[in-house]
Structure 1
Protein backbone atom coordinates (compact mmCIF):
# COMPACT_ATOMS: atom_id res chain seq x y z
CA UNK A 1 0.00 0.00 0.00
CA UNK A 2 1.24 3.47 -0.79
CA UNK A 3 -1.10 6.10 0.61
CA UNK A 4 -1.09 9.76 -0.35
CA UNK A 5 -0.36 12.26 2.42
CA UNK A 6 -3.10 14.26 4.08
CA UNK A 7 -3.40 17.19 6.43
CA UNK A 8 -3.15 15.97 9.99
CA UNK A 9 -4.86 17.69 12.90
CA UNK A 10 -3.86 16.93 16.46
CA UNK A 11 -5.54 17.55 19.77
CA UNK A 12 -3.37 19.81 21.92
CA UNK A 13 -3.00 18.41 25.44
CA UNK A 14 -1.60 19.44 28.77
CA UNK A 15 1.33 17.60 30.39
CA UNK A 16 -1.04 14.89 31.65
CA UNK A 17 -2.46 14.20 28.19
CA UNK A 18 -5.78 15.95 28.81
CA UNK A 19 -7.08 17.74 25.70
CA UNK A 20 -7.12 21.53 26.07
CA UNK A 21 -9.87 22.00 23.47
CA UNK A 22 -7.34 23.35 20.97
CA UNK A 23 -6.34 21.62 17.74
CA UNK A 24 -3.19 22.05 15.67
CA UNK A 25 -2.47 21.35 12.01
CA UNK A 26 0.77 19.43 11.60
CA UNK A 27 3.51 21.66 10.24
CA UNK A 28 1.73 24.91 11.02
CA UNK A 29 3.69 27.59 12.88
CA UNK A 30 2.99 28.55 16.45
CA UNK A 31 3.00 25.36 18.50
CA UNK A 32 1.79 26.51 21.94
CA UNK A 33 4.49 26.56 24.64
CA UNK A 34 3.98 24.08 27.44
CA UNK A 35 1.56 22.01 25.41
CA UNK A 36 1.83 18.52 23.97
CA UNK A 37 0.40 16.19 21.37
CA UNK A 38 0.28 12.41 21.72
CA UNK A 39 2.55 10.19 19.61
CA UNK A 40 2.22 6.40 19.58
CA UNK A 41 4.10 3.33 18.41
CA UNK A 42 3.43 -0.39 18.46
CA UNK A 43 5.91 -3.20 18.89
CA UNK A 44 4.30 -6.11 17.06
CA UNK A 45 5.86 -9.42 18.03
CA UNK A 46 5.52 -13.07 17.13
CA UNK A 47 5.40 -15.97 19.57
CA UNK A 48 9.01 -16.82 18.63
CA UNK A 49 9.98 -13.47 20.16
CA UNK A 50 10.80 -11.67 16.90
CA UNK A 51 9.66 -8.04 16.80
CA UNK A 52 8.79 -5.95 13.77
CA UNK A 53 11.05 -3.01 12.97
CA UNK A 54 10.42 -0.65 10.10
CA UNK A 55 12.97 1.48 8.30
CA UNK A 56 11.87 5.06 7.77
CA UNK A 57 11.44 6.14 4.15
CA UNK A 58 14.31 8.15 2.64
CA UNK A 59 12.19 11.32 2.36
CA UNK A 60 11.28 11.41 6.07
CA UNK A 61 13.04 12.95 9.04
CA UNK A 62 15.67 10.47 10.30
CA UNK A 63 15.83 8.85 6.83
CA UNK A 64 16.46 5.11 6.66
CA UNK A 65 16.72 4.77 10.44
CA UNK A 66 14.83 1.97 12.18
CA UNK A 67 11.86 2.23 14.55
CA UNK A 68 8.67 0.58 15.69
CA UNK A 69 5.71 1.66 13.50
CA UNK A 70 3.84 4.66 14.81
CA UNK A 71 2.83 8.27 14.46
CA UNK A 72 0.67 11.02 15.87
CA UNK A 73 -2.77 10.68 17.40
CA UNK A 74 -5.28 12.54 15.25
CA UNK A 75 -7.96 14.85 16.61
CA UNK A 76 -10.67 12.84 18.35
CA UNK A 77 -8.70 9.56 18.43
CA UNK A 78 -7.66 7.64 21.49
CA UNK A 79 -4.04 6.69 21.88
CA UNK A 80 -4.75 2.98 21.35
CA UNK A 81 -6.95 3.63 18.30
CA UNK A 82 -4.15 5.71 16.78
CA UNK A 83 -1.57 3.00 17.50
CA UNK A 84 -3.80 0.43 15.79
CA UNK A 85 -4.37 2.75 12.81
CA UNK A 86 -0.69 3.64 12.43
CA UNK A 87 0.37 -0.03 12.58
CA UNK A 88 -2.16 -0.84 9.85
CA UNK A 89 -1.27 2.17 7.68
CA UNK A 90 2.48 1.57 7.83
CA UNK A 91 2.60 -2.24 7.75
CA UNK A 92 -0.78 -3.59 6.70
CA UNK A 93 -1.10 -5.46 10.02
CA UNK A 94 -4.66 -5.06 11.29
CA UNK A 95 -5.11 -5.46 15.03
CA UNK A 96 -7.96 -4.10 17.11
CA UNK A 97 -7.09 -1.34 19.55
CA UNK A 98 -8.38 -3.54 22.37
CA UNK A 99 -5.62 -6.10 21.63
CA UNK A 100 -2.86 -3.56 22.28
CA UNK A 101 -1.07 -3.76 25.62
CA UNK A 102 0.16 -0.37 26.90
CA UNK A 103 3.81 -0.33 27.97
CA UNK A 104 4.20 3.22 29.17
CA UNK A 105 4.31 6.91 28.39
CA UNK A 106 7.47 8.95 27.83
CA UNK A 107 7.41 12.76 27.95
CA UNK A 108 9.29 14.56 25.19
CA UNK A 109 9.69 18.30 24.55
CA UNK A 110 6.25 18.76 22.96
CA UNK A 111 4.95 15.21 22.73
CA UNK A 112 3.68 12.49 25.02
CA UNK A 113 4.89 9.19 23.57
CA UNK A 114 2.81 6.03 24.24
CA UNK A 115 4.29 2.61 23.46
CA UNK A 116 2.20 -0.52 22.97
CA UNK A 117 2.90 -4.19 22.25
CA UNK A 118 0.72 -6.67 20.44
CA UNK A 119 1.22 -10.33 19.56
CA UNK A 120 0.62 -11.21 15.91
CA UNK A 121 0.46 -14.62 14.20
CA UNK A 122 3.65 -16.10 12.75
CA UNK A 123 1.96 -16.07 9.34
CA UNK A 124 1.28 -12.33 9.39
CA UNK A 125 1.96 -10.61 6.07
CA UNK A 126 3.57 -7.18 6.20
CA UNK A 127 2.56 -4.78 3.42
CA UNK A 128 4.63 -1.62 3.98
CA UNK A 129 3.37 1.80 2.90
CA UNK A 130 6.09 3.04 0.53
CA UNK A 131 5.64 6.67 1.60
CA UNK A 132 6.40 5.77 5.22
CA UNK A 133 8.51 2.61 5.17
CA UNK A 134 11.61 1.78 3.11
CA UNK A 135 11.97 -1.76 4.50
CA UNK A 136 10.98 -3.95 7.41
CA UNK A 137 12.55 -6.81 9.34
CA UNK A 138 11.51 -9.26 12.02
CA UNK A 139 14.39 -9.15 14.50
CA UNK A 140 15.29 -10.27 18.02
CA UNK A 141 15.22 -7.90 20.96
CA UNK A 142 19.01 -8.26 21.08
CA UNK A 143 19.14 -6.95 17.52
CA UNK A 144 17.00 -3.95 18.52
CA UNK A 145 19.50 -3.21 21.32
CA UNK A 146 22.40 -3.56 18.91
CA UNK A 147 20.80 -1.16 16.40
CA UNK A 148 20.16 1.28 19.21
CA UNK A 149 23.80 1.17 20.37
CA UNK A 150 25.14 1.49 16.81
CA UNK A 151 22.99 4.54 15.98
CA UNK A 152 20.75 2.75 13.47
CA UNK A 153 17.51 3.51 15.33
CA UNK A 154 15.85 6.88 14.71
CA UNK A 155 17.21 9.39 17.24
CA UNK A 156 13.98 9.83 19.26
CA UNK A 157 14.08 6.12 20.06
CA UNK A 158 17.28 6.44 22.11
CA UNK A 159 15.58 8.17 25.06
CA UNK A 160 12.27 6.35 24.53
CA UNK A 161 13.83 2.91 24.75
CA UNK A 162 16.16 3.88 27.59
CA UNK A 163 13.01 4.68 29.59
CA UNK A 164 10.67 1.95 28.35
CA UNK A 165 13.02 -0.97 27.53
CA UNK A 166 12.52 -3.04 30.69
CA UNK A 167 8.70 -2.89 30.67
CA UNK A 168 8.73 -3.61 26.91
CA UNK A 169 10.85 -6.76 27.34
CA UNK A 170 8.81 -7.88 30.36
CA UNK A 171 5.54 -7.48 28.47
CA UNK A 172 6.74 -9.43 25.46
CA UNK A 173 8.07 -12.23 27.69
CA UNK A 174 4.81 -12.44 29.63
CA UNK A 175 2.64 -12.48 26.49
CA UNK A 176 4.65 -15.07 24.54
Structure 2
Protein backbone atom coordinates (compact mmCIF):
# COMPACT_ATOMS: atom_id res chain seq x y z
CA UNK A 1 0.00 0.00 0.00
CA UNK A 2 1.25 3.47 -0.80
CA UNK A 3 2.48 5.27 2.26
CA UNK A 4 3.79 2.23 4.12
CA UNK A 5 6.94 3.01 6.07
CA UNK A 6 9.81 0.53 5.67
CA UNK A 7 13.02 0.14 7.63
CA UNK A 8 16.10 0.35 5.41
CA UNK A 9 18.83 -2.23 5.82
CA UNK A 10 22.28 -2.87 4.47
CA UNK A 11 22.98 -5.87 2.22
CA UNK A 12 23.28 -8.17 5.25
CA UNK A 13 19.85 -7.15 6.54
CA UNK A 14 21.18 -5.04 9.40
CA UNK A 15 18.96 -2.01 10.06
CA UNK A 16 20.53 1.34 9.16
CA UNK A 17 18.21 3.41 11.34
CA UNK A 18 16.72 5.06 8.23
CA UNK A 19 13.24 4.52 6.82
CA UNK A 20 11.63 4.91 3.41
CA UNK A 21 8.00 5.66 2.59
CA UNK A 22 6.57 3.35 -0.10
CA UNK A 23 5.87 5.28 -3.26
CA UNK A 24 8.56 7.82 -2.43
CA UNK A 25 11.10 9.01 -4.93
CA UNK A 26 14.75 8.00 -5.08
CA UNK A 27 15.06 4.77 -3.15
CA UNK A 28 18.56 5.02 -1.63
CA UNK A 29 21.20 3.24 -3.71
CA UNK A 30 22.85 0.29 -1.96
CA UNK A 31 20.12 -0.07 0.67
CA UNK A 32 17.26 -2.54 0.90
CA UNK A 33 13.89 -3.15 2.51
CA UNK A 34 12.63 -6.53 3.67
CA UNK A 35 9.99 -8.43 1.70
CA UNK A 36 8.70 -11.64 3.28
CA UNK A 37 6.50 -14.50 2.14
CA UNK A 38 5.10 -17.72 3.55
CA UNK A 39 4.54 -20.99 1.74
CA UNK A 40 1.81 -22.60 3.83
CA UNK A 41 1.21 -26.35 3.67
CA UNK A 42 -1.92 -28.09 4.93
CA UNK A 43 -1.87 -31.52 6.52
CA UNK A 44 -2.70 -33.13 3.17
CA UNK A 45 0.52 -31.76 1.65
CA UNK A 46 -1.07 -29.06 -0.51
CA UNK A 47 0.35 -25.52 -0.49
CA UNK A 48 -1.56 -22.24 -0.65
CA UNK A 49 -1.19 -20.06 -3.72
CA UNK A 50 -2.90 -16.72 -4.15
CA UNK A 51 -3.68 -14.79 -7.30
CA UNK A 52 -2.92 -11.08 -7.26
CA UNK A 53 -5.83 -8.65 -7.55
CA UNK A 54 -6.33 -6.94 -10.92
CA UNK A 55 -5.41 -3.53 -9.48
CA UNK A 56 -1.92 -4.60 -8.30
CA UNK A 57 1.31 -4.77 -10.22
CA UNK A 58 1.63 -8.22 -11.80
CA UNK A 59 -2.19 -8.36 -11.94
CA UNK A 60 -3.84 -11.79 -11.93
CA UNK A 61 -0.55 -13.66 -11.56
CA UNK A 62 -0.02 -16.33 -8.90
CA UNK A 63 2.30 -16.20 -5.89
CA UNK A 64 2.60 -17.15 -2.24
CA UNK A 65 1.22 -14.49 0.15
CA UNK A 66 3.92 -11.85 0.48
CA UNK A 67 4.66 -8.23 1.22
CA UNK A 68 7.03 -5.72 2.73
CA UNK A 69 7.86 -5.73 6.41
CA UNK A 70 6.74 -2.47 7.98
CA UNK A 71 9.01 -0.24 10.04
CA UNK A 72 9.64 -1.92 13.38
CA UNK A 73 8.70 -5.40 12.17
CA UNK A 74 11.07 -8.29 11.78
CA UNK A 75 11.00 -10.24 8.55
CA UNK A 76 9.10 -13.09 10.24
CA UNK A 77 6.58 -10.68 11.81
CA UNK A 78 5.97 -9.13 8.40
CA UNK A 79 5.48 -12.56 6.83
CA UNK A 80 2.93 -13.56 9.50
CA UNK A 81 1.05 -10.25 9.12
CA UNK A 82 0.94 -10.46 5.31
CA UNK A 83 -0.35 -14.05 5.38
CA UNK A 84 -3.15 -13.07 7.74
CA UNK A 85 -4.01 -9.85 5.87
CA UNK A 86 -4.07 -11.42 2.41
CA UNK A 87 -5.51 -14.86 3.12
CA UNK A 88 -6.84 -14.85 6.68
CA UNK A 89 -4.46 -17.65 7.73
CA UNK A 90 -2.89 -17.26 11.17
CA UNK A 91 0.45 -18.75 12.12
CA UNK A 92 2.88 -17.74 14.80
CA UNK A 93 6.37 -16.43 14.19
CA UNK A 94 7.65 -19.51 16.03
CA UNK A 95 5.89 -21.74 13.46
CA UNK A 96 7.91 -20.33 10.57
CA UNK A 97 11.00 -21.97 9.14
CA UNK A 98 13.23 -19.78 6.98
CA UNK A 99 13.69 -21.34 3.55
CA UNK A 100 16.18 -18.71 2.46
CA UNK A 101 16.86 -15.16 1.31
CA UNK A 102 17.15 -13.75 -2.21
CA UNK A 103 18.93 -10.43 -2.73
CA UNK A 104 16.95 -8.33 -5.20
CA UNK A 105 17.62 -4.84 -6.55
CA UNK A 106 16.01 -2.97 -3.64
CA UNK A 107 14.76 -5.78 -1.44
CA UNK A 108 15.96 -8.67 0.64
CA UNK A 109 13.30 -11.32 -0.03
CA UNK A 110 12.79 -13.91 2.72
CA UNK A 111 10.74 -17.04 2.06
CA UNK A 112 9.34 -18.96 5.01
CA UNK A 113 7.60 -22.32 5.28
CA UNK A 114 4.78 -23.10 7.72
CA UNK A 115 2.48 -26.02 8.23
CA UNK A 116 -1.14 -25.64 9.30
CA UNK A 117 -3.50 -28.34 10.48
CA UNK A 118 -6.82 -29.11 8.90
CA UNK A 119 -8.24 -27.00 6.09
CA UNK A 120 -8.12 -23.36 7.19
CA UNK A 121 -11.01 -21.14 6.17
CA UNK A 122 -9.53 -18.48 3.92
CA UNK A 123 -10.56 -14.84 4.10
CA UNK A 124 -9.09 -13.22 1.01
CA UNK A 125 -8.49 -9.47 0.99
CA UNK A 126 -10.06 -8.40 -2.34
CA UNK A 127 -7.68 -5.44 -2.63
CA UNK A 128 -4.75 -7.86 -2.60
CA UNK A 129 -6.01 -11.25 -3.77
CA UNK A 130 -8.72 -12.30 -6.23
CA UNK A 131 -8.42 -16.07 -5.99
CA UNK A 132 -6.68 -18.83 -4.06
CA UNK A 133 -5.88 -22.49 -4.59
CA UNK A 134 -4.44 -25.33 -2.53
CA UNK A 135 -2.16 -27.20 -4.92
CA UNK A 136 0.68 -29.73 -4.90
CA UNK A 137 4.04 -27.94 -4.81
CA UNK A 138 4.78 -29.33 -8.29
CA UNK A 139 1.88 -27.19 -9.56
CA UNK A 140 3.62 -24.10 -8.24
CA UNK A 141 6.69 -24.98 -10.28
CA UNK A 142 4.53 -25.73 -13.33
CA UNK A 143 2.84 -22.32 -13.04
CA UNK A 144 6.25 -20.72 -12.75
CA UNK A 145 7.48 -22.47 -15.90
CA UNK A 146 4.24 -21.60 -17.74
CA UNK A 147 4.59 -17.87 -16.99
CA UNK A 148 1.61 -17.82 -14.63
CA UNK A 149 3.58 -16.69 -11.56
CA UNK A 150 4.31 -13.02 -10.89
CA UNK A 151 7.65 -12.21 -12.52
CA UNK A 152 9.70 -11.76 -9.33
CA UNK A 153 8.84 -15.33 -8.34
CA UNK A 154 10.81 -16.89 -11.20
CA UNK A 155 14.28 -16.09 -9.79
CA UNK A 156 13.02 -16.59 -6.24
CA UNK A 157 11.92 -20.14 -6.97
CA UNK A 158 15.02 -20.81 -9.05
CA UNK A 159 17.09 -20.02 -5.96
CA UNK A 160 14.85 -21.33 -3.18
CA UNK A 161 12.62 -23.94 -4.82
CA UNK A 162 14.84 -26.96 -4.17
CA UNK A 163 15.18 -26.10 -0.46
CA UNK A 164 11.44 -25.47 -0.19
CA UNK A 165 10.71 -28.82 -1.87
CA UNK A 166 12.95 -30.52 0.72
CA UNK A 167 11.01 -28.94 3.58
CA UNK A 168 7.68 -29.88 2.03
CA UNK A 169 8.80 -33.48 1.41
CA UNK A 170 10.22 -33.79 4.93
CA UNK A 171 6.97 -32.65 6.49
CA UNK A 172 4.47 -34.12 4.04
Maintained 8 Å contact 2:32/2:106: yes
The whole-number CA distance in structure 2 between the counterparts of 1:88 and 1:162 is 26
Q: Is 2:42 aligned against 1:54? A: no
In the alignment, structure 2 segments of 5+ residues that lack a partner are none
The CA deviation at 1:6 is 6.4
What pairs with 1:29-68 in structure 2 (closer than 5 Å)? 29-68=25-64
What pairs with 1:93-132 in structure 2 (closer than 5 Å)? 93-132=89-128
Maintained 8 Å contact 2:2/2:23: no
Task: Report the TM-score when normalising by structure 2.
Answer: 0.97
Query: After TM superposition, which residue ranges in structure 1, 4 or more long, deviate above 3 angstroms?
Result: none
Q: Is 2:16 aligned against 1:12? A: no
Is the partner of 1:172 in helix, strand or coil? helix
In the alignment, structure 1 segments of 5+ residues that lack a partner are none
Task: Report the TM-score when normalising by structure 1.
Answer: 0.95
Deviations 1:124-176 (A, max 9, x none): 11110000001000011111111001100000000000000011011112223
The CA deviation at 1:123 is 2.3
The whole-number CA distance in structure 1 between the counterparts of 2:146 and 2:2 is 34
Q: CA RMSD in A?
A: 1.0
